[in-house]
Structure 1
Amino acid sequence: MAAFHFELVSPERLVFSGEADSVVVPGVEGEFTVLAGHAPFMTTLRPGLITVNDATSKEKLEFYTLGGFVDVGEGGLTILADVALPIAEADQARFTADLAQAETDIHDAPDADFRLVAIERRDQLAYLKTLLRP
């Protein structure tokens, strides 16, 4: 399988940079898989898990994300995430804090549209919390 360059960046750090055989991305329109030679496009990221088949180590890597932007281009795949970290670093305390923030966002929403977005984010976070390994 042909590899391509993938970078996952958060405001805090470069989370991953390397060659991937495939990357499954939680886009706002649904999950999609990027392979080498994928047609260029841009979209937004929803909270979810990014799954990477690392071309170098041949391991399956998972990253927790809360949203951001996705750019698929000739140079590969770049994800600029609001929050991103390896799933091994995402613990129950992190999810509890993120869920509490989502509840605050629902309560403080200035109108119904913002409230609906905040509710969707809270529900996605609640689902992600169920995926954590104990």
Structure 2
Amino acid sequence: MATLHVDVVSAEEAIFSGEAKFVALPGENGELGILPRHTPLITRIRPGAVRILRADTGEEEFVFVAGGILEVQPGVVTVLADTAIRGKDLDEAKATEAKKLAEEALKNAKSEIDQAKVQNELVAIVAQLAALRKYRKK
């Protein structure tokens, strides 16, 4: 069966590098599913879950990304994430606390710029919580 090479990296570290049968992630205009020999593509990605069906084990690898860029070539998928966290490293209690703090900061924001910054942070936190809950169900 054909596979594709997948790299998921953030500014801090390489999160995943390996062969996969399938990759799904939140594109700018909706969910993207990528199989080997996919048409070349470059797009922004939204905060959410990157799901990688590993070729070696047949298991699904899960990574939360807080946005970034996706590049697809026929045999290679590269995710350049603003922030990336392995599914097993996500902490629901920390994310819930961060959501509460962001909601409080939104109430206290004095300018439109402050509101926009906090809203962007809140969107990423809510996406992280949703991805975490989906990951934990599996």
Q: Deviations over 1:11-70 (max 9, x none)?
A: 111100010000001112111111100000111111111111101122111111111110
Gaps of 5+ in 1: none
Matched, 1:69 2:69: yes
Closer, same or farther in 2 for the Cα pair 1:29/1:84, shift >3 Å? Answer: same
Contact 1:19 1:54 in 2 (8 A): yes
Q: Please state how far the C-alpha of 1:124 moved relative to its aligned partner.
A: 2.8
Task: Please state whether the residue corresponding to 1:39 is helix, strand or coil.
Answer: coil
Task: Give the helix-richer structure, 1 or 2.
Answer: 2
Contact 2:102 2:118 in 1 (8 A): no
Other-structure match for 2:30: 30
Pairwise CA RMSD: 2.8
Contact 1:99 1:125 in 2 (8 A): no
Q: Deviations over 1:86-131 (max 9, x none)?
A: 1111012441355357544783641876676556445434533543
Gaps of 5+ in 2: none
Other-structure match for 2:6: 6
Residue 45 of structure 1 aligns to which amino acid in structure 2? Answer: I
- The partner residue of 1:127 within 127, 130, 133 is 130
Other-structure match for 1:39: 39
**Count of residues in correspondence between the two structures:** 134
Matched, 1:51 2:56: no
Q: Please state how far the C-alpha of 1:79 moved relative to its aligned partner.
A: 0.2
Distance 1:72 1:98 in 2: 33
Distance 2:10 2:100 in 1: 21
Contact 2:95 2:125 in 1 (8 A): no
Closer, same or farther in 2 for the Cα pair 1:94/1:58, shift >3 Å? Answer: same
Of all paired residues, the percent bearing the same amino acid is 31
